[in-house]
Amino acid sequence: MSTSDCVQGYLDTLEHQVLGLDEIPEEQRRHLLSLLHLVRQQVISLSQRERAYYTILKSCEDLAAFEDVDEVILSTLERAVELTKAERGFCILAGRQGEPAFAVSHRYPPEAADREQPSETIVRHVLEGGRPLRTTNAEHDPRFQDSASIASYHIRSVLCAPLSLKDEILGALYLDTRQRVRQFSEVDLQTLEAMAFQASVAIALARLISELRTQNERLEKALRELDRARHELTKAERLSMLGQVTAGIVHDLRGPMNTIKGYAGLLSNGEPGPEERRRLTGYILQAVDRLNSMCQELLDFARGEVTLAPRIVYVPEFMERLRILLQPEWEMRGLHLEMETGYTGPAVFDEGRLTRALMNIANNAREALRPGGILRIGVHVAESGLEFRLSDNGPGIPPALRERLFEPFVTFGKREGTGLGLAIARKIVEDHGGTIRLDESCTSGAVFIITLPLECIPPEERPRR
C-alpha cells in the first residue's frame, strides 16, 4: 500500500469519527469536515505530483536509450496517456513551413476507431503561439468555437504542449478526453510540459544521430571510393615504376655485358700475347663481378627479410678484409682508398651483411668519383655506439635528393648500378638495431655514418658516462 493510500485511510477514519461526534455543534462539524476535505484534496494533488515525478524520471531514463524518433514519440505518448488517463494521445511534428504533420496516434475507443485526428484548431493554436494549453470544456471554449473536429468528436478536455528547443518549434504533444468526469488539471498540464521538453531534447538528439549516421555512411562510401581510386592509382604507379626500373636495370646490365662482349671479341680476333690476354681477361672478370653484384642487389631487395648470423669479429681484421675486397677496383680506376681503424677491439655483428652494406656505400662513391678521388673508411667508438664513417671528396649529394636517398631505385651521378645499394645498406644496418644517415653538415663530398648499438662491443670498451 502506498503512502497516499495510508493517508487517505487515516482521513477516512477521522471523517467517520467526526460524523460520530454528537456532542459538537453542527457548524463546528461542518468546519472540521471541510478541513478534512481540503487535506484530502492536497493529498490527492501531492499523490498526482509524486506519480508525475516518477513517470517523468522513468521517461527520462528511457528516452536516453532511444536513437529513433518514432521510439521517442511512442514512449512519451504511452506514459503521458497512462499518467493523465487520457483517451487519445497524438504527437504532431511540424512539417515544412510550420505545417503540422501527424506522426503517431495512441489509444482511441474501439467503437470509434475511424476518428484518427486531433483538433487541428487547438494544434495550430499551440504551434503558432508556442505556449501550452489546457481546456476543460473545449466545446464551449470561446477560443475554439469554429472547430468542427471538437464538435464532431465531442471533445471535452484537452491538453496540448509544444515540442520546442530555444526558438524552434518541433511539434506538439496532444491529449484529449470526452469524459465529463475526467477533466485535466493544472498538474496534468505541468506534467505534459515536462515530458514535452524531454521529448524535444530526445527528438533533437535522435535527429542528430540520424544525420550523423547518414553523413557517416556518405563518408564511408566516399572513403571506399577513395580507397578504390588510391588502389588503382597505386597499381598504375607500380606498373609505371616497374617499367622504369626494368628499363634502368636493362640499361645497367648492358654496360658490363658490352664490356664482356668487346673484350671477348678482342680475345677471339688474332692471337694476343700472354700479357694482353691477362689484361683482357681481367677486364672480363671485373665485368662479370659487376653483373654478379647487381644481380645480388636485386635478389637482396626482392627477398626483403634477411636472417642475421652475428658473431664475434675483431674490427682491425674486418677492416683489412674490407680493404682487400675494395682495393683492386679502386686502383684500376685511379682512386685512393684510406682505412682508419680507431677501435681495435672485438665486436658482434654479421660480418658478411655489414661488409655488403659498407661495400654498397663504397661502390656508390667509386662510381661518383673522378680519377684521383679519395674515400676514407674509419671506425671508432662513440657515445651512441660503434661508428663507421665513410667520407669522399666527390660532388656530394644534391639537397633535393637527400630526403629520398635511402629509397629503392634512387640514384645520382653514377654510370652504373640499380639504385638499390643504399636501400639494402639501410635494411642491413637496421636489422642490426643500428642507424645509417647522411651527414648533412658536410660542405664538400658525401659523408655516410653507420652506427651499431653499444651492445655489440664489450662493456669494458664502451665509453664511460
User: Last residue of a domain, which of 215, 244, 269?
Assistant: 215
Q: Is 449 a residue whose pLDDT tops 90?
A: yes
In this prediction, residue 204 carries a pLDDT of 77
Separation of alpha carbons 450 and 68, rounded Å: 62
Separation of alpha carbons 28 and 35, rounded Å: 11
In this prediction, residue 206 carries a pLDDT of 75
Closest CA to 407 of 421, 417, 394: 421
* 53 or 256, greater pLDDT: 256
Clarify whether residues 94 and 106 are in a common domain. yes
In this prediction, residue 346 carries a pLDDT of 94
Residue 83 near residue 113 (C-beta atoms within 8 A): no
Clarify whether residues 305 and 453 are in a common domain. yes
Residue 98 covered by a domain: yes
What CATH number does the domain containing 431 carry? 3.30.565.10
In this prediction, residue 285 carries a pLDDT of 81
* 437 or 185, greater pLDDT: 437
User: Last residue of a domain, which of 192, 215, 238?
Assistant: 215
Q: What is the mean pLDDT of residues 84-91?
A: 84
Q: Is 378 a residue whose pLDDT tops 80?
A: yes
In this prediction, residue 263 carries a pLDDT of 73
Q: Is 113 a residue whose pLDDT tops 50?
A: no
Inter-residue long-range contacts of 402-409, CB under 8 Å, 24+ positions, other chains counted: 402/438, 402/440, 405/438, 406/436, 408/301, 409/241, 409/244, 409/245, 409/248
Clarify whether residues 32 and 114 are in a common domain. no
**Cα 257 to Cα 73, 282, 288, 289, distances in angstroms:** 83, 14, 8, 11
Clarify whether residues 322 and 380 are in a common domain. yes
Q: Is 386 a residue whose pLDDT tops 60?
A: yes
* 459 or 279, greater pLDDT: 459
* 256 or 441, greater pLDDT: 441
Residue 435 covered by a domain: yes
Clarify whether residues 78 and 61 are in a common domain. no
Residue 445 covered by a domain: yes
Mean pLDDT, the chain, rounded, equals 78
* 352 or 414, greater pLDDT: 352
In this prediction, residue 110 carries a pLDDT of 46
Angle subtended at Cα 398 by Cα 397 and Cα 402, rounded to the nearest 5 degrees: 75
What CATH number does the domain containing 181 carry? 3.30.450.40
Residue 83 covered by a domain: yes
Q: 193 falls in which pLDDT band (50, 70, 90)?
A: confident
Clarify whether residues 294 and 423 are in a common domain. yes
Q: Is 146 a residue whose pLDDT tops 70?
A: yes
Clarify whether residues 296 and 406 are in a common domain. yes
Clarify whether residues 296 and 443 are in a common domain. yes
In this prediction, residue 25 carries a pLDDT of 75
Clarify whether residues 210 and 298 are in a common domain. no
Of these ranges, 64-73, 196-205, 311-320, 423-432, the one predicted with the greatest mean pLDDT is 311-320
In this prediction, residue 112 carries a pLDDT of 47
Residue 137 covered by a domain: yes
Task: Determine the distance from the C-alpha atom of residue 340 to the mean position of all C-alpha atoms in its chain, rounded to a whole number.
Answer: 51
Q: Is 398 a residue whose pLDDT tops 90?
A: no
Clarify whether residues 312 and 211 are in a common domain. no
Clarify whether residues 170 and 96 are in a common domain. yes
Residue 146 near residue 152 (C-beta atoms within 8 A): no
In this prediction, residue 298 carries a pLDDT of 67
Residue 417 near residue 400 (C-beta atoms within 8 A): no
Q: Is 181 a residue whose pLDDT tops 80?
A: no
Q: What is the mean pLDDT of residues 165-184?
A: 81
* 147 or 1, greater pLDDT: 147
Q: What is the mean pLDDT of residues 188-210?
A: 80
**The total number of structural domains that make up the chain:** 3
Clarify whether residues 57 and 72 are in a common domain. no
Phi-psi region of 147 (alpha: psi -120 to 50; beta: other; left: phi over 0): beta
* 141 or 437, greater pLDDT: 437
Residue 247 covered by a domain: no
Which amino acid is present at 256? P
C-alpha cell at 7: 493517508
Q: 410 falls in which pLDDT band (50, 70, 90)?
A: low
Residue 4 covered by a domain: yes
358 by Cβ neighbours in 10 Å (0-12 / 13-18 / 19+) ranks as buried
Residue 375 near residue 391 (C-beta atoms within 8 A): yes
**How far apart are the two ends of the chain, measured CA to CA in Å?**
82
Q: Is 160 a residue whose pLDDT tops 70?
A: yes
Q: What is the mean pLDDT of residues 227-254?
A: 71
Q: 75 falls in which pLDDT band (50, 70, 90)?
A: confident
Separation of alpha carbons 365 and 438, rounded Å: 13
Q: 266 falls in which pLDDT band (50, 70, 90)?
A: confident
User: Last residue of a domain, which of 215, 236, 258?
Assistant: 215
In this prediction, residue 114 carries a pLDDT of 45
In this prediction, residue 376 carries a pLDDT of 95
Boundaries of domain holding 54: 1-65
In this prediction, residue 212 carries a pLDDT of 82
Q: What is the pLDDT of residues 276-291, one digit of tens each?
A: 878 778 777 877 876 7
Give the CA count within 13 Å in the CB-facing half-sphere of 322: 31
Q: Is 157 a residue whose pLDDT tops 60?
A: yes
